[in-house]
Structure formats: structure tokens, C-alpha cells
Chains A and B, each alone.
Chain A
Amino acid sequence: MKTNLDNLDIQIIDLLEEDGRASAKSIALKLGITEVTASKRISKIIKGDHCKVVAIADFEKCGFKFLLPMGIKVHGKQLEQVAEKISSLDAVYSVSAVSGIQDLEILCATKTLDETVQLLDVILPSIKGIKSITPAISSKVYKFQTDWAPLGND
């Protein structure tokens, strides 16, 4: 579903990108529109399916010491079921079906080594249909840009 944005919407999105909590009043002032128009447009924008304004929390500062980008290979037709099962795990933060050597690319976050071992050796292997797990631990994150996401699956 694609909805159309006009020029004013795009200007408002740009301002929200700079300061996501900017008030309707300050946005109205900057764009020379009324506060009512600004707040109507803002609700339209954030309630639509183009973008969201959210707080993003830092994994590490919230106690997640391990970030694990893993590749998963799946037996034949079970891809969707396996992907849904993996998605239901709390430790898993993203799940994407891919074409290439792997079938799924997933990103997990865990707090301790024990939790990591549990995920890798017990929880994931117990999911029926997983053929192989290629794990890795992220040692240093150089860039993690959070300005995009596939929205609308939640």
C-alpha cells in the first residue's frame, strides 16, 4: 500500500528527522503554517505507513553484551515455519529470508555467554527444519544506522 506524500509532508519529515520530539508549534513556526495544520500533518505522517518516530535503545548500554549476526540454512519447504519460530524468540531482533548461501540472516542479542551458548546449542537446534547454523559474534560495531526498517509486520 503506497500513500502519497506532498511537499509539505516531506518538509515535516525532514524536521522530524532532525528532532523527533519537536513540538507541532515549533514545526509550524519553521514552515510558516498554522499549528493545527502542523499537528494534523504530523499525526497523518506518523500514523501512516511511511515512517515512525521512535526511541532506539542501545543494546550494549541496556546490558546486551553479545550481538550475533548468524546465517541459517533450512530444509526445503520449511523456510516460513522456521522463520516464524525464530522470530518468536525474544533474543532475536531481526529475521530476513535471503537468497545466497544462507536461507535466513538473523541478528540476535544476548546478555551473557551462558545465554549465548543456550541460544546456539539448545534453543536454535531444537527448532525443526534448521539444517545448519553459522554463528558469529560482532566484535566491534562501526556503523549501525537506524533510519530504516521494514515496518508493518508487528
Chain B
Amino acid sequence: MLRNFQLTNRQSPITILLLILVSLAIPVTAFAQDADPTAPTDDEVNAIAKEMYCPVCENVPLDVCGTQACADWREEIRMKLAEGWSEDQIKQYFTDRFGDRVLAEPPRQGFNWLVYVVPPIAFLAGVIILIRGVQSWRRIEPVSVGDEPSPQAEEIPADDYVERFEEELRRREQ
């Protein structure tokens, strides 16, 4: 039996060459069948997933969430990409099914506007308050201890009550 498989001297170079070619061609063909060039890559899936959150794992972006629910969502994104859906269409699909809260950046509508409007307004208000505060501090004239009383201070009319109080003290001392 073994003899049948032994190569003759005449056949051997051609057969060996053919065998080498066939052995090289098989894995290349297999690889070509496995890898679909149109299939979405993990990076493409994660580029969309990182801008989304699933309701199950709050505050964990979809691209790094390790739960089965998030894995299912990523798989759905992959399927939609393979079907030729755009990023916006996929996000809209998830929003329709699970609400606005799946989006990392809420759509600019309704109460969501507060998220975009309040922080800059609060920042501007803070800057205005700071500027006015600095201006009011500058208006206060600095008075150092031991200085002669300023003419303005002398012009301040005396308080009747203080005057009467001092008069009473003087009378008692006498």
C-alpha cells in the first residue's frame, strides 16, 4: 500500500511543486472565505457604541460595557452597519426603541436644551459677578493704621447719640 504513494524519480519534482502550490492555496482560499471585507470592524462598531449608553448599565459607555445586554446592542450595531445603515440611522433606531437617554449627547429639543444653555449662562453670570465684585473692591479706599484722619472722615457728621453718650461720660468723670 505504501508503495503506491511513493513518488517516482520522474514524477517527484512536478508533484512536489504541485503539492506546495496546493498547500499554499488552501489556507489563502479559506482565509478569503472567512474574512468578509465588507463586514464592519470592531473599531467601526465601537465608534458608534462609545457615544451610546444602555439603560442597564448607567454611566458606562456601550463600547466598554461588559454585560450581555451591551454585547447584544453592539451586535445589533454591527448588523445594522453590515446592512449599510449610517451612524445617524443607527442612533435614531436605538433612540426610537429605548429613548433619548441612550445617547451620550442628548438631542437639542425640549428640556434637553437646559443641558446646553444653563452651563454657559451660569459661567457668564459668574464672570459678571466676579467683575462687579472686583470693581466694588477697588472703589473702597484703603486706610492704613496710624494715618491721619482723612478730610472726608472729619466731614462725617457726629452721631447725636454718641455725642450725648460722650457728654454723659465726661460729666461722670468730673
A binds B: no
